[in-house]
């Protein structure tokens, strides 16, 4: 983090040069980018900042399930091309969309403080007051995530799970349509909350019901490696506790070669004391039909006096160790099942 003096100096350095933020065009993506813009303006009041909306492959292909498209960069590729070509200076992502291995020349420049990472249920108006447990047998649950459907099939086998695509606005319209086939839909709490749609949340799913997606609830900012001006600009935005948690989660996913279309779930907690910190990481791999579910938990502790880079190294190793533990239990066989479809 920069001192107030360093921030003031950086602000003066940036007065003459504007900064362009790249993002997807969805309402949520724009909202999150405006949050980043507001934080930057708070640190650098005289900085000229603009936003460039870009359409990604994932935004264009809405009639195919994410797990069947076969790409890991569905919501990031076009943004990274713009960054590489210097049409934008940085890119704002929902971090769960950002692959764990970045293209050459790109780095994760900052991670903002995380919102509640849990998943939420939005019921149709006709099912107001119900929960997943109390929905009638055969009720259709809409989700674009094989992670959600795979885990929930174990808990609620009486329900039917069907793919639903589109941004949050589109999915809510499909749910609310008079002829809707969906009894409810599953969405990340963070997105609903950031858009001010808390009143639509019927149920928040705790980790004993559903492990959330890697990095869910966190906003990541991608920048060019070697662009020291932008890296310095982003330093005050880094939330280290969030960075530690998502570092472990992304390491877990990276070693399992997972993406947003793979049934991996995680849950992390970082417990702080005066002298030490303890990071707990739970991770799971679930077969598509929910019949096989592997879940384990590991933890690591460190002295608060250790350098930040060493803490991040320990978080990275925690994710790797947990992935190896699940591989020993048969996780690779479950993931190969999806690759074969």
Task: Check residue 258 and give its pLDDT.
Answer: 57
CA distance 185 to 148: 11
**pLDDT value at position 262?**
77
Longest CA–CA separation in the chain, Å: 62
Q: Do domains 1-113+218-238 and 119-205 have the same CATH topology?
A: yes
Q: CA 84, CA 75: separation in Å to the nearest integer?
A: 16
| For residues 206-214, average pLDDT | 97
As a whole number of angstroms, the distance between CA 337 and CA 48 comes to: 49
CATH code of the domain made up of 239-341: 3.30.160.40
Cβ-proximal residues to 116 (8 Å cutoff; 6+ apart), any chain: 189, 190, 193, 204, 217
* Burial readout 263-284 (b: 16 or more C-beta within 10 A, e: otherwise): bbbbbbebeeeeeebebbbbbb
Q: What single string gives the DSSP state of each residue in 247-276?
A: HHHHHHHHHTT--TTS-EEEEEEEEE-SSE
Between CA 116 and CA 23 the distance in angstroms is 22
Is CATH 3.40.190.10 what the domain over 119-205 is classified as, yes or no? yes
Residue 157 has a pLDDT of 95
Q: Are 202 and 123 in contact (CB under 8 A)?
A: yes
Q: What is the pLDDT of residue 75?
A: 53
Q: What is the pLDDT of residues 293-318, one digit of tens each?
A: 999 999 999 999 999 999 999 999 99
Q: What is the mean pLDDT of the chain?
A: 89
pLDDT confidence band for 114 (50 / 70 / 90): very high
Residue 101 neighbours by CB distance under 10 Å: 11
**Superfamily name and number for 1-113+218-238:** Periplasmic binding protein-like II (3.40.190.10)
Q: Among the options 17, 59, 89, 97, which is catalytic?
A: 97
Instruction: Read off the pLDDT of residues 143-199 as tens digits, 9 standing for 90 and up.
Output: 989 999 999 999 999 999 999 988 899 999 999 999 999 999 999 999 999 999 999
Q: Please, which pLDDT band fits residue 12 given cuts at 50, 70 and 90?
A: very low
The residue ranges of every structural domain in the chain are: 1-113+218-238, 119-205, 239-341
Percent of the chain with pLDDT over 70: 88
The mean per-residue pLDDT over the stretch 307-333 comes to 97
pLDDT surpassing 80 at residue 257:
no
Pair 11, 45: CB distance under 8 Å: yes
Contact 46, 9 (CB under 8 A): no
Q: Which residue has the tokens 């724009």?
A: 30
Is residue 63 flagged as an active site residue? Answer: no
**Model confidence, pTM:** 0.88
Q: What is residue 339's predicted lDDT score, i.e. its pLDDT? A: 72
């Amino acid at each position: 983090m920069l001192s107030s003096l360093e921030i003031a100096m950086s602000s003066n350095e940036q007065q003459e040069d504007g900064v362009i933020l790249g993002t997807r065009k969805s309402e949520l993506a724009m909202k999150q980018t405006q949050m980043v813009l507001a934080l930057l303006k708070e640190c650098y009041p005289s900085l000229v900042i603009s936003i460039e909306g870009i359409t990604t492959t994932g935004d264009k292909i809405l009639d195919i399930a994410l797990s069947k498209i076969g790409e890991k960069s569905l919501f990031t590729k076009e943004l990274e091309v713009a960054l590489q070509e210097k049409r934008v200076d940085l890119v704002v992502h929902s971090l769960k969309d950002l692959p764990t291995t970045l293209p050459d020349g790109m780095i994760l420049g900052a991670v903002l403080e995380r919102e509640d990472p849990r998943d939420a249920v939005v019921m149709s108006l006709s099912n107001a007051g119900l929960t997943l447990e109390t929905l009638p047998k055969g009720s259709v649950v809409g989700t674009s995530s094989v992670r959600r459907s795979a885990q929930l099939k174990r808990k609620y086998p009486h329900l039917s799970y069907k793919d639903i695509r589109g941004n949050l606005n589109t999915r809510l319209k499909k749910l609310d349509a008079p002829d809707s086939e969906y009894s409810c839909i599953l969405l990340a709490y963070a997105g609903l909350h950031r858009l001010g749609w808390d009143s639509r949340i019927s149920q928040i799913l705790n980790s004993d019901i559903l492990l959330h997606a890697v990095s869910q609830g966190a906003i990541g900012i991608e920048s060019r490696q070697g662009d020291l001006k932008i890296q310095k600009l982003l330093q005050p935005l880094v939330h280290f506790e969030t960075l530690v948690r998502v570092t472990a989660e992304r390491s877990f996913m990276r070693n399992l070669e997972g993406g947003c279309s793979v049934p991996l779930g995680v849950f992390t907690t970082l417990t702080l004391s005066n002298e030490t910190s303890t990071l707990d990481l739970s991770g799971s791999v679930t077969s598509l039909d929910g019949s096989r579910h592997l879940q384990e938990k590991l933890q690591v502790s460190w002295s608060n006096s250790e350098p930040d880079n060493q803490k991040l190294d320990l978080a990275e190793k925690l994710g790797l160790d947990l992935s190896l533990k699940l591989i020993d239990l048969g996780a690779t066989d479950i993931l190969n099942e999806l690759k074969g479809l």
